[in-house]
Structure 1
């Protein structure tokens, strides 16, 4: 998202500055200042502090992530790792090659992750839900193990078309869950195919997302819009110089600079595993793809896309979200006639990780409230008297006061395992 790309660039520059300072101090400390005695001997006057300081800065450049993570987060929480389950590589509806996993039994939830991440970000959520639902997760094209079409570029229209294909292939009404750009992808699908909402799609859950160009709903968005031409040019340059951008990303990862930038997307409850996982994914995914995706977001809008959604919509927003401010969630809920809004105090953009109990409880409650119809193979799609899944307008706005404690074969066409 545009907000986090700015501190990532600034912290990356700081990381390179520290590295160059380390190398300069080591070189100057070793070389010293040469002088010639009366006898013609060359004497080098070395300053040990330069060597020691340079060594310390060099150590920070390659090992800084350990103290950064330790000092800025808390221990504990659910362990989270970038570990894959059993998945398949499929041909997407728009020409992408998609990596898809499915596990669990029951009604189907299809999850769409945020930008710069991949489907492993849902690992903790899946562990809690797979005993009650069939979970389908996938990597967005260009990220994780999914690949863009030949000559294709990452944008919301492409993602929405691939999502449409996945939804249709399930063969039964499902619930869509999207975080950040995942929620934007769902809204793009609603804008282009509103008839699917209330037919193939029984319900929608949007987590920490927006309805328009993210620079309009983020903190300091006015600065980004003022520098819009420069920002877009910088993103294009990042894509053109991807090898150098990747080198910079890994150097920032090792020094902990990338962790500091990503820490801005978390609230006070972030754990060490969570910050490490998010930073690892953002580093190993192609920086050129991420840059072009952010560039495409800056020209995107789906305001009012869910106005015609004929199914319940649950919008969950973090009250301290810096990336997609709570006002964005409020706007989405206000423009979707069958939407509820849940405000989560203390939740930043990655609230579904650090306050997972709250999000899990709300997801479970929402899914339990749906009058799940039989799959179309058993009977035709049925509608309620209100004309869609569930009861008539049940709009509500809630605020969480405290966190709560709380496989069938797919008709996908496979191109290999």
Structure 2
């Protein structure tokens, strides 16, 4: 879990680097059509659900009948990362935030192996078993997992939202990372010492470190959310598989980048209407990848958030909710046009 911001208003802007055509802006829903955010909202109730032969712990947000939303967390996260965004979107769609295998309160896979491909397979089977298209929303590693599922089974995905997806990047810049141990820990061999140091942290230290790394402005993290995150990290520390799940998944993700395995080709196969959201202070996945991601996914739109970091759905939930609701509304009323294979 990453603590939710206490209060933040980040007007959306799209910035245009010189020499390139600007991507199309995301449509934004009228804020008056969204419910007011309760900054003290508790995480949605959770339970285990078996679907498509896969059992995951999920947190469910009640909402209207119609196309449901499914939310997928990142490497250090869980279903609680979506508490506020799911609440803001609950008048448009019922939500299911999943804990990927070995994360949150989900049990480990029978194989004991954790890679992005394992998580993609699990999510795909889970969605296929439910038998209806969904609005799929993913952050960071969860964004990469969602992207792979959308490319493989387009009939399962009504819309796709990617929030700072973990797109391959062979040019990481350690100067942009506030705690270099977190970056070093993802390296397959060199990161052993860093991983051991992270494992020795107290739950409170871990929560504070994640905020420093993932927020554009760490000072806005609410104290009660830090306390919630501390409790969650303490609970995960008691799970015998939790550290290995995060270690194997992170190392496999970076190893895939180094081997040249590329989500960029996968992105070109996505058919669903897609929204890409990025914070311009993202210290984990470079904001310069935002434009490339939009260019790789036909007809996608971009929301760039100034002052926001890696977990925009937590740090600026109102701004993200307006864009996601705008996507859903535009698809529902037919105004999200597909320019075809030769245009944007």
Partner Cα distance (1:174, 1:348) in 2 = 26
Q: Which residue of 1 aligns with 2:118?
A: 158
User: Which one has a larger percent helix, Structure 1 or Structure 2?
Assistant: 1
Match of 1:365 among 305, 322, 326: 326
Give the superposition deviation at 1:328: 2.0
1:272 aligns with 2:228: no
Aligned residues of 2:206 and 2:233 also touching (Cα < 8 A): no
Match of 2:337 among 368, 388, 391: 391
Give the superposition deviation at 1:332: 1.0
Alignment size in residue pairs: 293
Partner Cα distance (2:234, 2:287) in 1 = 27
Residue 221 and residue 151 in structure 1: after superposition, are their counterparts in 2 closer, same or farther (change >3 A)?
A: farther
Q: Which residue of 2 aligns with 1:293?
A: 249
Residue 91 and residue 167 in structure 1: after superposition, are their counterparts in 2 closer, same or farther (change >3 A)?
A: closer
With a CA cutoff of 8 Å and minimum separation of 6, indicate the structure with the bigger relative contact order: 2
1:345 aligns with 2:301: no
**What does the per-residue CA deviation read over 1:180-209, in whole Å, with 9 as the maximum and x for residues that have no partner?**
111010122245x1xx22x22111000112
**What does the per-residue CA deviation read over 1:266-319, in whole Å, with 9 as the maximum and x for residues that have no partner?**
122433344444454445432222112111111233123121222211000001
**What does the per-residue CA deviation read over 1:125-156, in whole Å, with 9 as the maximum and x for residues that have no partner?**
22222222121221010011211222321111
Q: Which residue of 2 aligns with 1:306?
A: 267
Which region of structure 1 is more displaced relative to structure 2, 283-292 or 316-325? 283-292
Structure 1: where are the runs of 5+ without partners?
5-68, 239-243, 373-383, 397-417
1:207 aligns with 2:153: no
Match of 1:135 among 95, 98, 112: 95
* TM-score, normalised via structure 2 length: 0.73
Structure 2: where are the runs of 5+ without partners?
9-37, 237-241, 257-261
Match of 1:253 among 190, 199, 203: 203
SS in 2 for 1:202: strand
Q: Which residue of 1 aligns with 2:80?
A: 120
Partner Cα distance (1:149, 1:202) in 2 = 27
Partner Cα distance (1:141, 1:314) in 2 = 26
Q: Which has the larger radius of gyration?
A: 1
Residue 140 and residue 297 in structure 1: after superposition, are their counterparts in 2 closer, same or farther (change >3 A)?
A: same
Q: Which residue of 2 aligns with 1:336?
A: 297
CA RMSD of aligned residues (A): 3.4
Partner Cα distance (2:188, 2:159) in 1 = 38
- Written as runs of structure 1 = structure 2, the 5 A alignment for 1:7-406 is 78-79=39-40, 81=42, 83-90=43-50, 93=53, 97-102=55-60, 103-106=62-65, 107-191=67-151, 193=152, 196-197=153-154, 199-212=155-168, 216-217=171-172, 219-220=174-175, 228=187, 230-234=189-193, 238=196, 248-249=200-201, 252-254=202-204, 256=205, 258-268=207-217, 269-285=220-236, 286-300=242-256, 301-371=262-332, 391-393=337-339
